Amino acid sequence: MSKYRLVALLLAVYFLANPAAAQHYLIRAGKLFNSETGAFQKDMAILVSGTRIDTVKAGKDLTAAEKEKYQLVDLSAYTVLPGLIDCHTHLLYKENIWKGNREASLDMNRMLTLDGDAYRAIYGAARAKAYLEEGITTVQDLGNSGLFADMALRRAINEGLVPGPRMRCSGPGLSTEGGQLPHTIFKHQELVKDEYRVVTGVDDAIQAVRENINQGASVIKIFANNTPNNTMLRVEEIKAIVEEAHRYNVRVTAHATNSRSVYNAVIGGVDGIEHGYQIEDSVLDLMKKKNVFLVPTDPDSLTMIQYAKQDDPADTAQIAGYMQGMRSPQNRLLRAYKKGVMIAAGSDDYVDFKLPFSAPSKRTLIGYHQAGIPIADVLKFATINAATQVNYQNRTGVIKKGFWADIIAVDNGLEQDIEAIMKVHFVMKEGKIIRKD
């Protein structure tokens, strides 16, 4: 018998001999969001044993034995739904908004040279805790975390050193020359290598995938274009990256902001497109045909107002300009939605909007609804759809027998008012109660 089977057998014997070791909860839900159907079901009960969901049934069908065995968690005044998933985070990166600064990502240079890894680690741990407490139980962290500091944060969470969501991590994103450090002079290009993996051809692209996976990457993030710089990966390089990553059952998702870079990434075989602010209909059709996810990192109106206020508090007129700027991505989102492109929620939350940690992430969902997406489908973006994008399908994103017990509760008006997603009263991650107001 292998040592792994022996450990599994000993654990099984332990839990059989010590039934109290595995917590049993009976959660009564006022309304339960079914992420498979999009329906809000009334008077439902969820039975949780250990880290998994045992059963989901109507409250009236509970047996006396079940009521006795399971500890009651009464959420009958709330709407219960799966833990939220953010498919595009940067927990260890903070970008400040400087009045009058028109140089995109200039603050990244400042962070690399003035903040350092120790500060970023503490900052990331604080944000991870806030994300979890606000109902985000899984994230996909896509780089901008130095040289594999995201892996260190994930390890700390897994070991129980700090609280936080379950993490999929990419390590440094695979980019062409310059990364996303605009106008950094050639003498200081070594800064780029502290934040990005610059690839120099097909063979090097394959090597970069191996490096990241060897360090623990559970997703590969590439830059099909690396805006605000203007170099791009070749389709041949993208194909090589995808083929190598898929050998290890690791998905590839691509930063791509315009139609050309999205097209190149889709032809290259990627699993997801991050941002995709400008995508022509023909490219959306190709994404639909190839089952490529779109992760639209679109803000809501309140977030944009916060940005405008910090950019120039005296210029109130520019708020209207920011609101106007939201229309193009909203149009792209609606077109993708109507064409049946698979959509998963992702916030790209890294700018310090002077909002509570995690608020910009969840307000992305509000932005989707402001664009015209029905609330039930917005919630699917952040649950069942997102679970597939982060390669956790059949494990989370649905409140269903055998799935991880990732369960949250929010105000009971969620069915009619998306703002209720901001009012969290209960959080459970893998059967452990994190928050219970």
Q: Note the helical H segments in 312-434.
A: 318-325, 327-339, 359-370, 375-381, 384-389
Sequence letter at residue 291: N
Determine the Cα–Cα distance for residues 94 and 351; give it in Å rounded to an integer. 6
Angle, alpha carbons 227-232-233 (nearest 5°): 130
**436 strand-pairing partners:** 426
Dihedral angle computed from the Cα positions of residues 406, 412, 418 and 422, in that order, rounded to the nearest 10 degrees? -60
Beta-carbon contacts of residue 20 (< 8 Å; ≥ 6 apart) = none
pLDDT value, residue 172 = 97
Q: What are the extents of the domains in the chain?
A: 3-81+399-436, 84-389
pLDDT value, residue 2 = 57
Q: Residue 242 in contact with residue 269, Cβ under 8 Å?
A: yes
Residue 89: alpha-carbon gap to chain centroid: 6
3-81+399-436: CATH topology is: Urease, subunit C; domain 1 (2.30.40)
pLDDT value, residue 18 = 44
Do domains 3-81+399-436 and 84-389 share one topology? The answer is no
Which residue from 295, 195, 201 is spatially nearest to 251, judged by alpha carbons? 295
Which residue from 364, 371, 416, 356 is spatially nearest to 386, judged by alpha carbons? 364
Per-residue pLDDT of the chain (437 residues; tens, 9 = 90+): 555 555 445 444 444 444 445 799 999 999 999 999 999 999 999 999 999 999 999 999 999 999 999 999 999 999 999 999 999 999 999 988 877 766 766 778 888 888 888 899 999 999 999 999 999 999 999 999 999 999 999 999 999 999 999 999 999 999 999 898 888 888 888 888 989 999 999 999 999 999 999 999 999 999 999 988 889 999 999 999 999 999 999 999 999 999 999 999 999 999 999 999 999 999 999 999 999 999 999 999 999 888 888 877 777 777 777 777 788 889 999 999 999 999 999 999 999 989 999 999 999 999 999 999 999 999 999 999 999 999 999 999 999 999 999 999 999 999 999 999 999 999 999 999 999 98
N-terminal to C-terminal alpha carbon distance within the chain: 46
Which residue from 92, 90, 94 is spatially nearest to 105, judged by alpha carbons? 94
Which residue from 398, 297, 299, 289 is spatially nearest to 344, judged by alpha carbons? 297
pLDDT value, residue 15 = 44
Determine the Cα–Cα distance for residues 430 and 425; give it in Å rounded to an integer. 17
Q: Residue 369 in contact with residue 299, Cβ under 8 Å?
A: no
pLDDT value, residue 6 = 52
Q: Residue 321 in contact with residue 304, Cβ under 8 Å?
A: no
pLDDT value, residue 16 = 40
Angle, alpha carbons 234-336-85 (nearest 5°): 85
CA dist list (Å): 326 to 274, 278, 358, 405: 17, 12, 21, 36
**44 strand-pairing partners:** 29, 58
Q: What is the CATH number of domain 84-389?
A: 3.20.20.140
pLDDT value, residue 19 = 40
Determine the Cα–Cα distance for residues 151 and 218; give it in Å rounded to an integer. 10
Q: Which residues of 155-182 are buried (b: 16+ CB within 10 A; e: fewer)?
A: ebbeeeebbbbbbbbbbbbbbbebbbbb
Could you tell me the pTM of the whole model? 0.93
Beta-carbon contacts of residue 65 (< 8 Å; ≥ 6 apart) = none
Q: Residue 86 in contact with residue 139, Cβ under 8 Å?
A: yes
Please give the backbone phi and psi of residue 380, each rounded to the nearest 5 degrees, phi first: -65, -40
Q: Around 192, how many Cα atoms within 13 Å sit in the side-chain half-sphere? A: 21
